[in-house]
Structure 1
Amino acid sequence: MELSKKGSMSSLYLSPLLAGAVAGFSVDVTLYPLDTLKTRLQSQQGFHKAGGFRGVYKGLMTVVATSMPMSALFFMSYEGTKSTLLPHAASHWAPAVHMFAASVGEVFACVIRVPAEIAKQRKQTYVGSGTRSAISILLEAYKSEGMRKGVYRGFLSTVARDLPFSFIELPVWELMKATVRQHNNGEITSLQSAVCGSLAGGFAAAATTPLDLAKTRIMLAEHTTSPKLRVLAVLEHTYCTRGLRGLFAGVAPRTTAFMIGGFVFFGVYDDVKAVLEKKFS
């Protein structure tokens, strides 16, 4: 009985934690150049001044060092919340449960994601910052701007971007997987899950591009910037100066990255998770 309980707990928390870590590492290393190009397209100084096509791997080690714990924390929280709530909810409430579980996972993940994004995006766009370590960038941000306005600058805008993204991506992914299972005798392969993740990720990425742009502008802004650094203010200013096209700057590399990333991420995640669950069962 005790062994069975330990196996169940390992399957519930340890399997998604380890699978999420491997999946996060795989997708971030694979798609980092596209993320750099997207960030430079969205930067206030413009694509070419922000670095253009040069040094597209600037800040990679920052991502490598944080992607594994961040993805692990997200999926452990997501799967744990989902497994706890789904048995007590009617089937038609499943999408709402997935949304809530995704929001819990995103908030936890942002504790790691935001400082990593601060360091990464400043290395990606600031001239001469490629030789500076992520720690030195964050220490400078802390000394000059403090914890909330420096190291965690853009926390709320990141949550505001990632929650709608997860509200779209995770339920769509789960719904598409359920549809595949219905037509495949309750079974789904990691390849099919990867395709579902690719479509869900691309759709969610395109829809939330304006929020991603606002987050990028807020994180890259100097602490002496005069306009209030608020999501709505940034979106309004961007729309007034650059129109609808400005709001969707970087949509092509972002959507492409998330379609490829969704394929790699969810495919690797489901594959590794299935292997670990068999091992722990």
Structure 2
Amino acid sequence: MNTFFLSLLSGAAAGTSTDLVFFPIDTIKTRLQAKGGFFANGGYKGIYRGLGSAVVASAPGASLFFISYDYMKVKSRPYISKLYPQGSEQLIDTTTHMLSSSIGEICACLIRVPAEVVKQRTQVHSTNSSWQTLQSILRNDNKEGLRKNLYRGWSTTIMREIPFTCIQFPLYEYLKKTWAKANDQNQVEPWKGAICGSIAGGIAAATTTPLDFLKTRLMLNRTTASLGSVIIRIYREEGPAVFFSGVGPRTMWISAGGAIFLGMYETVHSLLSKGFPTGEEMKA
């Protein structure tokens, strides 16, 4: 199986499994960050509300990320090596993974951002389904335009995802490489990759919580507002500590989710790379 389909199928499995398992924690995080606080936006009721939009987008979004990431890791490394002719292998690796993951995130956000807008508005609404929320957004298209509705928070999402991925993936790849080298292996087993993904994801999640908070508030905002004006208003009305709202659920969710997301990716990628046993081999 070629690299494109390996990335496509492994990414799809990773994205879907993670969203299904950890959606309730994401709902809690979103309600903690929404204006008015957790209980004013639904509390523990309907914690799977908005799951439809997440599941529909998770497979293609994750697939698009890994297709771009895996492709760029191979194609960009020779050019980066030329940029740092005297650079260490670790510097070249880190730069390659930062660039590749950043491009992967930008591509994935073409699908992820509209799904996030629908999902988060559904999570804090008392009655809407994902489909009803999407219809409501599309009805407002004539007033503000489709881009300002479905892609509200695009710039903040990119602003959050690129720092996040520039921390997570170089660290993830470094931990895998170090663990494999310590055991005299070329690569680690999928379960070890899952542990590396959990550690890297948790560190990246905690560090970028303020960016995630701003992204959530912009997506939930019903009117067009600049990022600067939103930051100033929140700071004046709610204080600086509010920017770390949801840091616990976010770190827990992404740390555990990183284990499933990257562990599932490694597992499916490994199975497809080796090929499934034939009927005769299974009998033997």
The alignment's TM-score, normalised by the length of structure 1, stands at 0.90
Q: What are the residue-to-residue correspondences of 1:169-208 with 2, within 5 Å?
A: 169-186=168-185, 187-208=187-208
- Give the root-mean-square deviation of aligned CA atoms: 1.7
Corresponding residue for residue 99 of structure 2: 100
Corresponding residue for residue 229 of structure 1: 226
- Preserved CA contact (<8 Å) 1:194 1:267: yes
Please state how far the C-alpha of 1:51 moved relative to its aligned partner: 0.6
Corresponding residue for residue 216 of structure 1: 216
SS at match of 1:129: coil
User: Which deviations, in whole Å up to 9, do the C-alpha atoms of 1:3-44 show, x marking residues without a partner?
Assistant: xxxx5xx1x211011100000000000000000000000001
Corresponding residue for residue 260 of structure 1: 256
Q: Distance in 2 between matches of 1:123 and 1:144?
A: 21
SS at match of 2:40: coil
Q: What are the residue-to-residue correspondences of 1:43-58 with 2, within 5 Å?
A: 43-58=34-49
Structure 1's 47 and 144: CA in aligned 2 closer, same or farther, altered over 3 A?
farther
Structure 1's 88 and 184: CA in aligned 2 closer, same or farther, altered over 3 A?
farther
Gaps of 5+ in 2: 82-88, 277-284
Q: Which moved more, 1:130-139 or 1:83-92?
A: 130-139
1:79 aligns with 2:78: no
Corresponding residue for residue 123 of structure 1: 122
- Preserved CA contact (<8 Å) 2:118 2:130: no
Q: Distance in 1 between matches of 2:64 and 2:232?
A: 34
Q: Distance in 2 between matches of 1:94 and 1:15?
A: 22
- Preserved CA contact (<8 Å) 1:173 1:197: yes
SS at match of 1:133: helix
Structure 1's 22 and 141: CA in aligned 2 closer, same or farther, altered over 3 A?
farther
Q: Identity percentage over the alignment?
A: 40
SS at match of 1:239: helix
Q: Which moved more, 1:120-129 or 1:158-167?
A: 120-129
- Preserved CA contact (<8 Å) 2:167 2:204: yes
Corresponding residue for residue 3 of structure 1: none
- Preserved CA contact (<8 Å) 1:235 1:247: no
User: Which deviations, in whole Å up to 9, do the C-alpha atoms of 1:174-194 show, x marking residues without a partner?
Assistant: 111111011011231111100
1:269 aligns with 2:265: yes
Structure 1's 80 and 41: CA in aligned 2 closer, same or farther, altered over 3 A?
same
Work out the number of aligned pairs and report it: 267
The alignment's TM-score, normalised by the length of structure 2, stands at 0.89
Q: Distance in 2 between matches of 1:16 and 1:131?
A: 28
- Preserved CA contact (<8 Å) 2:51 2:130: no
Corresponding letter in the other structure for 2:272: L
- Preserved CA contact (<8 Å) 1:141 1:151: no
Please state how far the C-alpha of 1:126 moved relative to its aligned partner: 1.9
SS at match of 1:128: coil
1:158 aligns with 2:163: no
Q: Distance in 1 between matches of 2:130 and 2:147?
A: 25
Q: Which moved more, 1:31-40 or 1:124-133?
A: 124-133
Please state how far the C-alpha of 1:88 moved relative to its aligned partner: 4.5
Q: What are the residue-to-residue correspondences of 1:19-98 with 2, within 5 Å?
A: 19-90=10-81, 91=89, 92-98=91-97
Q: Which moved more, 1:108-117 or 1:40-49?
A: 40-49
